[in-house]
Structure 1
């Protein structure tokens, strides 16, 4: 019977589906916020313009469909966040994730009064919550509430922007549009706040004029008009609304208290149903049934890789099962997909997805860093991911001959002139310098643009570098024993791009077959005594004219099929510039 714990049962909704619902509900709320802020921004034009636009805004969100969509999304989003917090085995998390969760939980608390003072009053008492009325209330009647709503606006916007960033950060195209999105994220709330301030000054001026003329009433009275039934004194309305405030605040408080009560109850039950996980170096962790192996490692303070953060989207946390295979549930779809992709044997599982139902012995297959400065819960590197990029390799010909009779400082001078040319041209054409290796260099194109544009940029950079190195060779001709010549190899395809290295010596680089082939093409350029060699995929994606360019099929180590390449002499390099 002890197997029938709540953690051992199949969940009603999978974590992956819950993430999709949380994302979808968050996007609905974010669209509402964008439209709301845009409406505020029209206050910079005039109060009437904002009021006119509000009619369209209300038409979208105050019809039955819009109401169910908006408030349903808000409720679903909050419930799924609470579900996520319940399912977390520890509340220790990266600072960015913690900030997003805290701001998300603050939003309902800060919004309750605003919802009651607008939507509830409108639906129950027929209150005309126009911009003129709301701004008068927040700017003149209760400026403290105005400050509070300003804080709400900033908190909601930051929370939404963080969520959008976490959602899109691993998309290959995101880096290209990230500056535009950042500009939008800064400008829109600023315009909204300026619009609110402009409307506040307008309403203050109108109120002052009315007071001077001795007029009272309307939006500037202590009495507010609600529908056709007459006037209801403001104090009576405040008294009538307290059950709604009590209900909303009480429900939210009860949900938070319930969350921690359920977590405490689960912890007490789990102490009665624990599994033992043994590690190869002798460590033993006793973890509650329902913990993943990764969570058990963290519970026991055992370093364990998980680059994707435990979402099953990488295989860095994988372990080999030594004992207790019978105590393991079968892989779910997400885990099985990743295991299939890496060609894992049946005894290999993802630690972040594996929840043992009994005692097991495991061996982590990737040895974690031994750096004592890395916290157990931190992400030690930017997650590597497959991207379609162009890899650029270049090298100086006859470098040994060039340097054998020169002083060390002269060699450094020559290399720095050469590297300066390469680095400047690579960066000016949208590439990223990866590393310098002796007299060679490696660069990446396509980290922030489309594959087609990246290939054109790489070819152009190659042509410009070859031309500039020729000029440098002419400048230093009297000091060089042999002419200064450079060879370039280009290949495009999928590669794993991520932050790699040790300690403070980390940088974004690429690994994979595409890198190996590009390096091989640079060697081919030397073999055929040509300035540039690029592969057929580069020619296809760049759309360059390859008529009358020599092509060959070459064998590349590790590839079963020969690769067609194009071999370009220095005299024809100008067509790519």
Structure 2
């Protein structure tokens, strides 16, 4: 079964989209794991200094091993570099308050952390200084008490920054609202216990010092001063270098200001290189952009007044989006148009009070690689005509329960039930390969469940229920859509349309499941049987290579 390029294009785009985001997330999780274990070690100070020391042995064995050191410090350097890169790429520093606080806290961490790392790990490596808890606490709480206060402060700053990052990552998961009270309580409890343990241990050490005197310490080597200057030089140099690069970029762009005129005589002057959407945001002019300014939707489109030829040509991605939206000549995407001369524009979709709430409250739309499964009952209309209405409701509820249990058990979510059909999404909370495997496993489970249902309701049915399912995977827009209580998380895009068409082909081919070949290969599965066909899909010029399975329950995931 040959794989054609179009079967994988959505996955390649998705992989490119998540590379930087995934790297920032994975390194952040490593740092947060280290911080959590460090705080829990501090919390044992509530019990005793001996308990802290015993736990420190395990802590050191993990994080000061060669793999642990490479993982931790590599993650810290990569995470910091990606933060500076994101800071440089921002055209404007106007942002929501939560984003600003997370940025400020994150940028401040290295400057608070350098003295602690140099005074413990680096000093230990350079001079044989034994940085056990009793020695470190003597330095922090007895010799220089301000060091203890600084250490407590950096713990709170780092923990808050990490918790904010986790919140932004998890807030769109469907289980998160239910788990939030527990997670919030843990987020408060861990640093509070750590600070209490840290302070209690410091008090115990101060009492020991008062009774027995100071413990002798290895003096810091002369090279420590050089290390201190290098560390702070790199930190300040990196931050000031990024801010300086932003300033030079602004000065270079400011030489040729571009004026953008809006309706109602509003004019915004921005440096060349800004998009129209960025100009709107900078001036506080409401401007729709559901996809967040990535050129994936057309809600920000504007009509350019005057000669469009004076402006840069649209990139292929913008031309594709405009073509799909059926935009006439003279219409451009505000998030992609970077005027090189004065221009007048008219936003075609105006922001109103009925527009979706901000991202903090709702998932306005995100591009994700998902697998979409449609399933329907064949001939159920004729069967329902022979049954009493209440009997039809009973049969449908039995069938819907079979579908829902199978989908949720495999990690998907039922998007909607329509008549005797259902639509399910996989990949909203999982990576692409796993989403495809989950969807195939759910399709097989639904088929087996309907077979059991036929056996249990043989007398009531008269004729067995017959399934038709279509499955396809690729990049779609996932977001909350609807109005009021009818709002729900769903998906739109070509992937959904193709999956629906494949379900219709399953009825025509008398098959239980028709699944696109790209989905099967992405999942890396072996199917028990099935014929590979190039199927014409209504609304598409190219055919879709698909696997036709007469019996989906026999599909085997390997």
What interval of TM-score do these two structures reach, taking the shorter chain for normalisation? 0.5 to 0.7
- C-alpha distance in structure 2 between counterparts of 1:539 and 1:375, whole Å: 38
CA deviation string 1:370-406 (max 9, x = no partner): 4446468989744332414142322352325514763
Superposition deviation, residue 309 in structure 1: 2.9
Q: Could you say what secondary structure the match of 1:464 adopts?
A: helix
Task: Establish whether residue 511 from structure 1 lines up as the match of residue 495 from structure 2.
Answer: no
Q: Could you say what secondary structure the match of 1:356 adopts?
A: coil
Partner of 1:278: 262
- C-alpha distance in structure 2 between counterparts of 1:195 and 1:118, whole Å: 19
Superposition deviation, residue 496 in structure 1: 0.7
Partner of 1:441: 422
1:310 to 1:378, Cα distance in 2 relative to 1, 3 A: farther
1:199 to 1:384, Cα distance in 2 relative to 1, 3 A: closer
- C-alpha distance in structure 1 between counterparts of 2:538 and 2:60, whole Å: 66
Superposition deviation, residue 293 in structure 1: 0.9
Q: Is the 8 A contact 1:391 1:514 kept in 2?
A: no
Larger Rg: 1
Partner of 2:219: 226
Q: Could you say what secondary structure the match of 2:444 adopts?
A: helix
Task: Establish whether residue 462 from structure 1 lines up as the match of residue 412 from structure 2.
Answer: no
CA deviation string 1:40-73 (max 9, x = no partner): 6667665277379769978989x9x99x999988
Task: Establish whether residue 152 from structure 1 lines up as the match of residue 126 from structure 2.
Answer: no
1:361 to 1:472, Cα distance in 2 relative to 1, 3 A: farther
Partner of 1:13: none
- C-alpha distance in structure 2 between counterparts of 1:47 and 1:427, whole Å: 45
Superposition deviation, residue 23 in structure 1: 10
Structure 2 residue runs of 5 or longer lacking an equivalent are: 1-17, 45-50, 176-181
Partner of 1:179: none
CA deviation string 1:151-180 (max 9, x = no partner): 42242244246558879999xxx999xxxx
Superposition deviation, residue 427 in structure 1: 1.3
1:301 to 1:573, Cα distance in 2 relative to 1, 3 A: same
- C-alpha distance in structure 1 between counterparts of 2:533 and 2:21, whole Å: 53
Task: Establish whether residue 418 from structure 1 lines up as the match of residue 399 from structure 2.
Answer: yes
1:122 to 1:546, Cα distance in 2 relative to 1, 3 A: closer
Number of aligned residue pairs: give it.
503
Partner of 2:474: 494
Superposition deviation, residue 554 in structure 1: 4.5
Q: Could you say what secondary structure the match of 1:296 adopts?
A: helix
1:77 to 1:112, Cα distance in 2 relative to 1, 3 A: farther
Partner of 1:338: 317
- C-alpha distance in structure 1 between counterparts of 2:24 and 2:421, whole Å: 51
Partner of 2:376: 394
Partner of 2:334: 351
Q: Is the 8 A contact 1:314 1:338 kept in 2?
A: no
- Give 1:492-571 correspondences, 5 Å limit: 492-504=472-484, 505-527=486-508, 529-537=510-518, 541=523, 543-547=525-529, 554-559=535-540, 560-561=542-543, 563-568=545-550
Structure 1 residue runs of 5 or longer lacking an equivalent are: 1-18, 177-182, 230-239
Q: Is the 8 A contact 1:218 1:225 kept in 2?
A: no
CA deviation string 1:12-42 (max 9, x = no partner): xxxxxxx999998998898677657656666
Partner of 1:8: none
Task: Establish whether residue 453 from structure 1 lines up as the match of residue 437 from structure 2.
Answer: yes
Q: Is the 8 A contact 1:496 1:512 kept in 2?
A: yes
Q: Is the 8 A contact 2:470 2:506 kept in 1?
A: no
Partner of 1:11: none
- C-alpha distance in structure 1 between counterparts of 2:286 and 2:60, whole Å: 54
Q: Could you say what secondary structure the match of 2:537 adopts?
A: coil
**Aligned with 1:47 (options 45, 53, 56):** 53
Q: Could you say what secondary structure the match of 2:335 adopts?
A: coil
Q: Could you say what secondary structure the match of 1:476 adopts?
A: helix
Question: What TM-score results when the alignment is normalised by the length of structure 1?
Answer: 0.64
Q: Is the 8 A contact 1:436 1:442 kept in 2?
A: yes
Q: Is the 8 A contact 1:154 1:189 kept in 2?
A: no
- Give 1:95-244 correspondences, 5 Å limit: 95-104=97-106, 107=109, 131-138=133-140, 146=148, 149-160=151-162, 162=164, 205=204, 208-209=207-208, 211-212=210-211, 215-218=212-215, 226=219
Superposition deviation, residue 300 in structure 1: 5.8
Q: Is the 8 A contact 1:29 1:73 kept in 2?
A: no
CA deviation string 1:453-489 (max 9, x = no partner): 2243133223233224314633634xxxx53523221
Partner of 2:343: 360
- C-alpha distance in structure 2 between counterparts of 1:169 and 1:529, whole Å: 42
Q: Is the 8 A contact 1:390 1:492 kept in 2?
A: yes
Task: Establish whether residue 485 from structure 1 lines up as the match of residue 465 from structure 2.
Answer: yes
RMSD: 5.8
Q: Is the 8 A contact 2:470 2:501 kept in 1?
A: no
Partner of 1:16: none
Q: Is the 8 A contact 1:536 1:563 kept in 2?
A: yes
- C-alpha distance in structure 2 between counterparts of 1:542 and 1:73, whole Å: 32
Q: Is the 8 A contact 2:275 2:336 kept in 1?
A: yes
Partner of 2:14: none
Superposition deviation, residue 356 in structure 1: 2.3
- C-alpha distance in structure 1 between counterparts of 2:164 and 2:275, whole Å: 27
- C-alpha distance in structure 2 between counterparts of 1:499 and 1:429, whole Å: 21
Superposition deviation, residue 208 in structure 1: 3.8
Q: Is the 8 A contact 2:372 2:425 kept in 1?
A: yes
Q: Is the 8 A contact 1:28 1:73 kept in 2?
A: yes
CA deviation string 1:522-573 (max 9, x = no partner): 33444455544445556654634444x577664332343365542425xx84
Once structures 1 and 2 are overlaid, which stretch shifts more, 493-502 or 526-535?
Answer: 526-535
Q: Could you say what secondary structure the match of 2:157 adopts?
A: helix
**Aligned with 2:280 (options 297, 301, 306):** 297
Q: Could you say what secondary structure the match of 1:483 adopts?
A: coil
Q: Is the 8 A contact 1:39 1:54 kept in 2?
A: no
